[in-house]
Structure 1
Amino acid sequence: MDSRLADVLMLGELLREVHPEKSVREAASYCVQAAAANATAVSLNRPLFDAFHSLSKGQRRALRASAVPPIDPSARGRDVVVSHDAVRYVRKTLEAFARSGVGIVPEEQEAAFFARIRELQDRITALSQQYDTALAEDRRGVWLLVPGAAASNATPPAAAASAPGPPSLAPKDALPLSGTVSVEGLPADFVAARLRSVPAASLAEAVAAHTGLTDSAPAAGDSKEAPAVVPLPGPLAAVPPSGAPPVTVLEISTDYPDAGPATKYAIDRRLRAAVSLQSARRGFPQNQATLASLLAARAELSRTIAEAKAKAGAVAPGRAGGPLDADQCSPAGLSLQSMMAKEPAAVRTLLDRVLAIARGPGERERLALERMLRQDPAQQTPPGEANPALPDGLRSFDLGILMERVRRSAFNVSSDRTRAFFTYALARRGVITTAARLFGLRFAVVAAPSLGAPDDTGIGGKARDRALDACLNPDFAKSLTVCERPVITPLDESAVAVEASAVPDAHRWHPSVEVIDVYTVADGSDETEDDDGQEPFSSAPAHTANRGAYIGRLYLDAFPRKDKYKHMAMFPVRPGLMRWQEPSEEGRRRRQLRAAAEEQQGGAAGAAAAARRGLASSRTTSRVGASALARAMSRRSRVGSGGDGSEVVLEQHPEAALVCNFEPEGPMEHSDVVTLFHEFGHALHHLLGGRHQRFTAFSGASTETDFVEVPSQLNEAFAWDAAVLASFAARKRTDEEMLAEGAGAPQVEVIPGDLVDRMRAADAAGRALGAWRQAYLSALSLRLHAGEFAFSPDAEPKAAPANAARRMVSPTDGKDGQQSLEPSGDGGGPPSGPPSGQSTCPPLPETKTPLDAAVNLIADETSPLPPMPGSHLASNFAHLVGYGSNYYSYTWSDVIVKDMLGPFEAAKAASASAEAQPANATGAESPADGQQGKDVDPDAGSLLSARNAAHRYRRDVLEVAGRLDGDEMVSAFLGRDFEYGAYEAWLGEGMGAAWLGEPGQDASAPGEAAAPEAADKTPAS
């Protein structure tokens, strides 16, 4: 049941975010709603709860004389009722039932109570999807007029020579700016790639759409066709006359590859503010009402459950008989019960501690940046252009360019210099080879990316109607597994790039998606190999046996396109699952007969047969017939069953998708390389954590939300290691450099180690300010879900079309057998509130708070920088929907990661020390991280030398996945609980840097000592 629901939810959530066809995205959304409704029904199923409760009693009786068996990550075999995983699964399921009130509410009140919970859960799901869809489809930007011969605009020659393409923004979504706004500071390649030829009529339409509008929401009935945008200084005043030829504009959209560089490099503050404002208004005004309604629904759900528990006497220990507090009744309190933090008080303690550490150093950084801004004439508002939309004082859109100046002047690090060493192709190779070397993996491409037009194959093509129509019936999950396992081309370990031949049946939703299969290294240690050297039921052909065990599949959807998810994320596509079952009585009888026949064979053949039988028995699974194996290999979800009645094994390999928005060609920011490593860490967690899992609930990244960022943030550390970067980061040297050095000069320069050292030092600049802002966003998500505010539920979720009615059926629900999720036809509808009785939750504020007012109040109290006038963070802060109250998870995980990096750093230091020591008398080198006997260790002094630490991390964290709690995994890896010391030390790095000045001293602004490197920049961008 869990597996089928997971298949629907995972693939549906992916397709609604990435598929190029709107009809497919809408169908996927309705599939997700149907599956979520089914999951809600399961979570409220009293007979299912009773069954688990009885099973729990049986487990307790069986374990009365002994403790629960410890977890064994390499365990194989049948599901055992008293195994560690089974005991944990039953316990976690009962805890989830309890959080929903099942088994607590009196039986006579259950029907009304469950109906209300289902209604609220369905509403929450629909509103969440409505918010995400509005954000994904809201693409805005600016059009900056580029006069053909206007020297004042200083259009770079390379850009001027480029043929402008057609605009990708609609006039109503493009804020027009005049040619007086400079493009100085923007890289020449960035400008050249974004020149557009816009018809004069379209430009006039854009001017009309953005003239005279205020920051208020449109009146009822208005839509995004007439967006409310604050006019910025430098708007286009002169509209081309009717019939005028097309004009050339620089189009900068709110997509990640556009907005990031624009706000980081543009010297003209008006341009940075315009792009930042357009980004900060995405989703407005639709998502204001949607999020307010979502928060109200979450609050009602948590209060309904808390009040029901209180009336039944099932309250937290120590509070029995007393009134409930605000935390117990809040969405945050309900959600955090299943987190490492357990309750809001622990999150507040974390944020108070982080703020105590970061606020002082962060204030020094803020003041230093404020001085830089104040002392730079180019950052001052031109006379006569005062406007609230371009306020004085430091704002978030100033940080990028000011920190770039700090890196240049104080650390001699220029983004012009560093980005020359990176492209997406290089970064992709680097993240894959790093994972292969550290974690013993192999990767094989089965479908290479193409930037051509979408074809009619793969997910969303010929399989689309079958797959998405099937979501409306109970066989949805089964019908989606339509792909046959492709033939894999062996990968040469020494190859510079990962290459393999294309496979036509590797289904994907767009031709630009790359499909990669992941294997372990065949070193003889993998216990999943069967007696013929192949993994049981593995789809890997014989010639790939040296690859080891097949793990799963990875999709790389790396490049931006219209209507695609706008940020970076890992989407789980399928959970990994493996389960054994007992053979039938007939199967046992046939096995005995076969064994007797083998014994009569005698000689080597009989011995070999007996050995195979013994090996199979020790692993509690036997080989299936050849025909059954062939059938099993034809699907990625395989159910093998021998005709001889032998044991049945079900195996489903995990699949994950990295959805990113990188430029396919051209230079790449190092920050984007770090992001790729981050998301790849999530993918490794899902794939490795999906191996050998008996329960879908524990598969992949199914840990507590406040632990789920640990693998991703730890993987970021490798993107800062000099040896890792040197393994893939390189640039082609210019002809001038080659001539200057003479014959024999190398054509390619690998990123220098001293540059990486300076990059690491520069990364510490602004770190405290960044931690302060993360604490603010964490406080924002917590307080909006903590009962502090009351929001008006004005928005209604959009209704599904008639042909998308949910037809999924819940399991047995109550005494009447199966119950459809269709609304009942009695017209009465579900009850409007919790069970009768006096409320025990403290009342919510009587006054409804406008969402922006609540956000601004929290910002005034906590944020290091005031919000930009005209911005609407609540309309486009998607984590408020996906993470709810739990955005603190990034900071919580960061504290854990800095501590868990200790063994990696220790191995790195030990290997460097061993490499520096002379060989001993026997000629052997000193050991480094358990390795010895090598004359030269090429990885010495780098994180790549921490192979033992990486092996333990894979074993104790990545592969364990949800089979242990987060604190148990930390303890298994570190041998103790996590501590704050490493995080505090990391946060304090760089506090003595000269650019900050002395505390309390008005130091001069850095940046005057180092001029911009004009060779890599436009003369005026």
Structure 2
Amino acid sequence: MTADALEPLSFPIDAAGWERFSDERPRARLAAVQDVDARLKDGVALSAIERLELWNDADIALAEALSEANLLSEAHPDPTVRATAESHVQVMEALSSARLLDRDLWRVFADAAADGLDDEAARLLAHVLRDFRRGGVDLEDATRERVRILTERDTELSLTFSRNIREGRREVKVAPEGLAGLPQDFIDSHPVGDDGLVTLTTEYTDLMPVREYASARTTRDALTSAYNELAWPENHQVLAELLEVRAERARLLGFSDWADYETETRMIGSGAAIPEFLARLDAASAEAAAAEFVRLQERLRREVPDAETVTIADFWYLLSGLKHEDYDVDPQLVRSYLPFDRVLPGVLDVTGRLLDLEYVPIAESTWHADVRSYDVMRGEVRLGRIHLDLHPRDGKFNHAACFPLAPGIRDRSLPEAVLLCNFSRGLLEHDEVVTFFHEFGHLVHDILAGRQRWARFSGVATEWDFVEAPSQLLEEWAWDADVLRSFTANAAGEPIPAELVAKMRTADAFGRALEVRRQLGHSNVSYHLHVDRPADLQAATEGWYARTSPVQPLPGLHPYAGFGHLTGYGACYYTYQWSLVIARDLLSGFGAGLMDPESAERYRREILEPGGSRDARDLVAAFLGRDYSFEAYREWLTPRA
């Protein structure tokens, strides 16, 4: 069967259908996995390749069930469907961990002779055996059972943590004059209520404009404070227990701490290497950040003469003001060229031309009327299907991310993936356009890498500290004047001027080191919460943020309760900067221009299409012709004047 003959998913058309879809499909896949496991245990005479092929069948079933359930738990508008899907995530995660504790299954592969396997199959066998070891299969019985309990509890707590954030929307009320400085279209869409006040929410469509434009410091403080209290106090005890569960699990599995456990399978190699890498970032950014901070402090004191502290609620407002005043970049002028209805087709057009793809709109039922679906085509061949769910609503995932939906398996299943974002339906900030390109980078990576033989290597299944690099690289296209000119237009139909884009690029360099310090704060919180496990989460978190950056946290708040990356990324938030080091170097491979077809074809072939079938270092070396280095990142961080 050819790729274009593979059928995509078909979704229900009514509420009853969605209830069945969210319940019956994972149950069927659970049964399929159990059947595979029985056949493996009974198949004494199976060859190594036959054992791997059966394991692959189970991997496919698990990936299908988990991807669908994860998506529905985060995006479906019906809370009953979300709850059903979340319960199946927990069941399937428990099954996955239980399989890795099954000694009979382990022996199936421990006894498999690798003779005759090709390189990719041998790599899969090595990964499977490593997974069994990391699952705890070789521990004595009581310890093995304890690991099983801890693993399942980790899943339960992580799901609860994410659900509390998703449902933790907050509101603040401000006087109408508190909207001073905000764009007129924002003010028009926030009418004064019967109580004489304006309601603002912690949704990105309110939060981001307020942080950047609100000249009333009290408004910025109020909404930023509310955002930093998402899911508190609900998530306080959830996180406290999750940290203890992970620490005990890591210890029982023979690791010094959770960071050491997580990094064994990543490029960085060890937990101890995380603070070493963060120290390198600290040294590279400290001097430039200090100089930038002086300018922020001076700018704040023009409005608040007695201000002693620049807080995170001031950060984006002051940056925006300085970029306007010192670099002649008016963010409201920039956004006038970025209506959502032009940005969406623009992202599709640019990535289509770059990667030799066409996105054909599909009129199919999905989980919400906002969702736009497209077949991803190259010529007459359908490579996959994507779904874009791009606007906020109650109960929906409230950040921006790519969710796999169906694993791409050569000649078996068509890859599908979903973007869940929270963009305005009107004018976008340029930062939102950058985010759109970033998340779309994950999306095309998942589709283009979806022609693998083995589910384990399909899509964005690379080392977790490399997975952001292709997306961070694609952000660069959102800063290119020719790219932006191809789809932007203001109300008069005029594209964004190249001169303005040049100013934007110059202005973007200002504040870059301080932004790295902010990311260092997140990385330190992520790492130290898991490794140190402080008794006072609030004080410790506030302390790490305060020590990392001269831009201070708002005091007395609980941002750790809404730090969604603490579940999936665990102790390893460092990966965003690790990937960025690589992404800045990958950009050198486009020396002939961002839309150069030869560079783009080589990038697709060497970086995107292999998925996880090769180690990330080998992918990068194949594209660059050398190992990656830190120098491109260093130059980007501290550009010459």
**TM-score w.r.t. structure 2 length?**
0.89
> What does residue 566 of structure 2 align with?
880
8 Å Cα contact 1:85-1:694 kept in structure 2 = no
Q: Aligned partners of 2:230 and 2:321: how far apart in 1?
A: 29
8 Å Cα contact 1:141-1:279 kept in structure 2 = no
Residue 392 of structure 1, CA deviation: 4.1
The structure whose RCO (Cα within 8 Å, separation 6+) is larger is 1
Provide the secondary structure at the position in 1 that maps to 2:326.
helix
Q: Which amino acid aligns with 1:251?
A: T
8 Å Cα contact 1:191-1:250 kept in structure 2 = no
> What does residue 302 of structure 1 align with?
250
8 Å Cα contact 2:136-2:147 kept in structure 1 = no
> What does residue 91 of structure 2 align with?
34
One of 533, 552, 559 as aligned partner of 1:789: 533
Provide the secondary structure at the position in 2 that maps to 1:652.
coil
* Shift >4 Å, 4+ stretches: none
Provide the secondary structure at the position in 2 that maps to 1:263.
helix
Q: Aligned partners of 2:213 and 2:440: how far apart in 1?
A: 27
One of 604, 607, 612 as aligned partner of 1:954: 604
**Residues 380 and 10 (structure 1 numbering): CA distance in 2 closer, same or farther, change over 3 Å?**
farther
One of 171, 182, 190 as aligned partner of 2:186: 190
8 Å Cα contact 1:413-1:762 kept in structure 2 = yes
Provide the secondary structure at the position in 2 that maps to 1:760.
helix
Matches within 5 A, 1:868-1017: 868-904=554-590, 906-908=591-593, 943-944=594-595, 946-989=596-639, 992=641
Provide the secondary structure at the position in 1 that maps to 2:253.
helix
- Asked if residue 675 in structure 1 is aligned to residue 435 in structure 2, the reply is yes
Q: Aligned partners of 2:122 and 2:630: how far apart in 1?
A: 32
8 Å Cα contact 1:688-1:700 kept in structure 2 = yes
Q: Aligned partners of 1:862 and 1:897: how far apart in 2?
A: 24
- Asked if residue 549 in structure 1 is aligned to residue 402 in structure 2, the reply is no
> What does residue 349 of structure 1 align with?
276
Q: Aligned partners of 2:305 and 2:241: how far apart in 1?
A: 41
Q: Aligned partners of 1:864 and 1:772: how far apart in 2?
A: 8
Residue 185 of structure 1, CA deviation: 0.3
Provide the secondary structure at the position in 1 that maps to 2:419.
strand
Q: Aligned partners of 2:242 and 2:312: how far apart in 1?
A: 28
Provide the secondary structure at the position in 2 that maps to 1:784.
helix
Q: Aligned partners of 1:859 and 1:349: how far apart in 2?
A: 18
Provide the secondary structure at the position in 2 that maps to 1:962.
coil
Q: Aligned partners of 1:709 and 1:438: how far apart in 2?
A: 19
One of 708, 720, 733 as aligned partner of 2:479: 720
Provide the secondary structure at the position in 2 that maps to 1:853.
helix
Q: Aligned partners of 2:273 and 2:248: how far apart in 1?
A: 23
Q: Which amino acid aligns with 1:851?
A: L
8 Å Cα contact 2:153-2:245 kept in structure 1 = yes
> What does residue 850 of structure 1 align with?
536
Residue 143 of structure 1, CA deviation: 1.6
8 Å Cα contact 1:143-1:249 kept in structure 2 = yes
Provide the secondary structure at the position in 2 that maps to 1:516.
strand
Q: Which amino acid aligns with 2:424?
A: E
One of 129, 133, 139 as aligned partner of 2:163: 133
Q: Which amino acid aligns with 1:507?
A: S
Q: Which amino acid aligns with 1:988?
A: T
Matches within 5 A, 1:182-581: 182-197=178-193, 246-306=194-254, 328-376=255-303, 379=304, 392-447=308-363, 506-520=364-378, 522=379, 548-578=380-410
Q: RMSD across aligned C-alpha pairs, in angstroms?
A: 1.4
Q: Aligned partners of 2:162 and 2:171: how far apart in 1?
A: 19
One of 19, 24, 28 as aligned partner of 2:81: 24
Provide the secondary structure at the position in 1 that maps to 2:592.
helix
* CA offsets 1:513-542 (integer angstroms, 9 cap, x no match): 11111011x3xxxxxxxxxxxxxxxxxxxx
Provide the secondary structure at the position in 2 that maps to 1:552.
strand
Provide the secondary structure at the position in 2 that maps to 1:252.
strand
8 Å Cα contact 1:145-1:247 kept in structure 2 = no
* CA offsets 1:28-71 (integer angstroms, 9 cap, x no match): 1100000000001111121222121222xx22x44xxxxxxxxx
Q: Which amino acid aligns with 2:474?
A: N
* CA offsets 1:662-717 (integer angstroms, 9 cap, x no match): 122x22111100000000000011111112x1111101011111001011101101
Query: Percent identity of the aligned residues?
Result: 37
Provide the secondary structure at the position in 1 that maps to 2:232.
coil
**What is the number of equivalent residue pairs in this alignment?**
584
- Asked if residue 655 in structure 1 is aligned to residue 416 in structure 2, the reply is yes
Residue 196 of structure 1, CA deviation: 4.8
8 Å Cα contact 1:362-1:768 kept in structure 2 = yes
Residue 265 of structure 1, CA deviation: 0.4
Q: Which amino acid aligns with 1:93?
A: V
8 Å Cα contact 1:678-1:712 kept in structure 2 = yes
Q: Aligned partners of 1:42 and 1:976: how far apart in 2?
A: 39
Structure 2 spans left out of the alignment, 5+ residues: 1-57
Q: Which amino acid aligns with 2:358?
A: R
Q: Which amino acid aligns with 1:867?
A: P
8 Å Cα contact 1:952-1:973 kept in structure 2 = yes
Provide the secondary structure at the position in 1 that maps to 2:374.
strand
Higher helix share: 2
**TM-score w.r.t. structure 1 length?**
0.56
Q: Aligned partners of 2:337 and 2:295: how far apart in 1?
A: 30
Q: Aligned partners of 1:101 and 1:293: how far apart in 2?
A: 21
8 Å Cα contact 2:309-2:552 kept in structure 1 = no
Residue 114 of structure 1, CA deviation: 2.3
Q: Which amino acid aligns with 2:582?
A: I
Residue 380 of structure 1, CA deviation: 5.3
> What does residue 122 of structure 1 align with?
152
> What does residue 549 of structure 2 align with?
863
Residue 113 of structure 1, CA deviation: 2.5
8 Å Cα contact 1:302-1:330 kept in structure 2 = yes
8 Å Cα contact 1:134-1:283 kept in structure 2 = yes
Q: Which amino acid aligns with 1:682?
A: H
Residue 399 of structure 1, CA deviation: 1.3
Provide the secondary structure at the position in 2 that maps to 1:367.
helix
User: Looking at CA atoms only, which structure, 1 or 2, has the larger radius of gyration?
Assistant: 1
